[in-house]
Amino acid sequence: MTLAHIIAALHLLTLGIGYGFAWMRARALANIKTTADLGNVFFADNMYGIASLLWIGTGLWRAFGGLEKGTDYYLESTAFWVKMTLFALVFALEIYPMVTLIKWRMHLKKGKQISLAPASLLSKLTYAEVLLLTAMVFVAVLMARGVWV
């Protein structure tokens, strides 16, 4: 097994892990009743964040680190650009939940009150991210099979 195989496997594993924790965060946000319920949200959010960093890191390494088909293959692939557009949409949708959850953590640490009113919207945004991640998987399969080159 080569380094390219290991990084590819890690890329796929972190996708599955992140996908699961994104779903878990969305469900936890949808079920919030009190601040006591935030432990599940924060745990899922932390794991989703760690998986995302590993997923992005291994993806960049695969595309631009000389491990796979080469940078030119990716930059000239329509499927790659569709996948990156979907990623940009996921990232854009994640900004509000990320900022809100950071603020909630800071407020709780300082003993301040927080409003849980945004929880429903955060849940919906996270579910939208999950749908976009699903679309990314389908586009990645097309890219791996040489479709939309």
Q: Would you say 28 and 40 are in contact if contact means Cβ atoms under 8 Å apart?
A: yes
Q: Is residue 106 exposed (0-12), middle (13-18) or buried (19+ Cβ within 10 Å)?
A: exposed
CA pair distance 137, 19, nearest whole angstrom: 11
In a domain, 149, yes or no: no
Alpha-carbon span 101 to 95, nearest angstrom: 10
The model's confidence at residue 26, banded by pLDDT at 50, 70 and 90, is very high
Decide if 80 is inside a domain. yes
Residue 108, classified by CB atoms within 10 Å of its CB into exposed (0-12), middle (13-18) or buried (19+), is: middle
pLDDT at 43 over 90: yes
Tokens of 45: 């959010």
Domain residues for the domain of 27 are 3-144
Note whether 94 and 124 are within 8 A (CB): no
For residue 16 the two structure tokens come to: 């599955």
Question: Please, what sign has the CA dihedral across residues 13, 17, 23, 29?
Answer: negative
Round to whole Å and give the CA distance between 118 and 97: 9
pLDDT score of 148 more than 80: no
pLDDT on residue 56: 95
| Residue of higher predicted confidence among 66 and 42 | 42
Given this model, what pLDDT does residue 68 score?
78
Block residue for tokens 């949200």: 41
Instruction: Give the total number of structural domains in the chain.
Output: 1
- When pLDDT is averaged across residues 91-99 and rounded to a whole number, the result is 98
Calculate the average pLDDT of the chain: 94
35 is a domain residue:
yes
